[in-house]
Amino acid sequence: MTWDIEKLDLDAYLARIGCDGPLQPTYETLRQVHLAHVRSIPFENLDVLLGRGVSLDLGSLQDKLVTGGRGGYCHEHNLLFAAALERLGFTLKRHLARIRLGRYHLPRSHATLTVEADGRTWLADVGFGGEGLVEPIAFEDGAEVRSGPWEWRLGRDGDFWVLSAGSTELYALRPDEPHYPSDFEVANFYVSGSPHSPFTRHVLAQRTTADARVRIEDLPVSTAGELLSALRDRLGIQVTEADAEALLPRLSP
């Protein structure tokens, strides 16, 4: 796998997230595209539970997240987002981070980005789900950012940089460590296939608005029809009736 950013239909991507010009590679553009992506493309793991797997080539990401009315998880979101940013003229690096969430020895399986804009480096991440970033945060020790009702902090922990949401540490990364397409393939193989991965256990689906996180586990769902409606109408995820029927037993109790 290579990054293959030239395969991205940039106009279709920008239409999907409802973002139009001016789109010069500045911080304000980065912020606007980041916000638009998070609010337009939901977080979800449905293809893993449906036994379809997750492909990271750009064509598959575009077919699923841009034209297919679907969402995805971190690798899908942030590799698509990275391609769009590079096509807009940004310089960036793709990273793998270690999820923390109270534990310090989880696999290095989360995809995230650092992006150069206006003479500074920014942590950009449209694919964490949960309490993940809504807009970029300066890649500086002690940096903070607030968006709507949420706030985040970035700080040092030895060789690691740690992103926190409130008092909760989300993940840690080493920004100088290079990562290649093959590294993301290996991480994605674990995330989508290991019985120890949360993505293989039950339905995870979330939509972020300007002031709320709408999660599937918080919606009243007890039938396949209700699940279909919740995914389509509340979360913006297009699935078939057969998919909803297959997914119903995998909802969290």
Q: Which residue among 37, 75, 125, 243 is the active-site one?
A: 125
* HSE-up (13 A, CA, CB side) for residue 49: 23
Please classify residue 32 by burial: count the beta carbons closer than 10 Å to its beta carbon, then call 0-12 exposed, 13-18 middle and 19+ buried: middle
DSSP state, residue 174: -
Q: Which residue among 37, 75, 95, 110 is the active-site one?
A: 110
Q: Is 47 a catalytic residue?
A: no
The residues that bridge with 106 in the sheet, in sequence order, are: none
Alpha helices in the chain (DSSP H): 10-16, 27-40, 46-49, 58-61, 74-87, 181-193, 224-229, 241-247
Q: Is 19 a catalytic residue?
A: no
Q: Is 34 a catalytic residue?
A: no
- Tell whether omega for the bond before 22 is within 30 degrees of 0, i.e. cis: yes
Q: 246 in helix, strand or coil?
A: helix
| Residue 92 token pair | 């960036």
| Residue 121 token pair | 């480096």
d(CA 130, CA 140): 23
Q: Which residue among 74, 75, 95, 243 is the active-site one?
A: 74
d(CA 15, CA 31): 17
Do residues 137 and 123 make contact, with C-beta atoms less than 8 angstroms apart? yes
Q: Give the catalytic positions in this structure.
A: 74, 110, 125
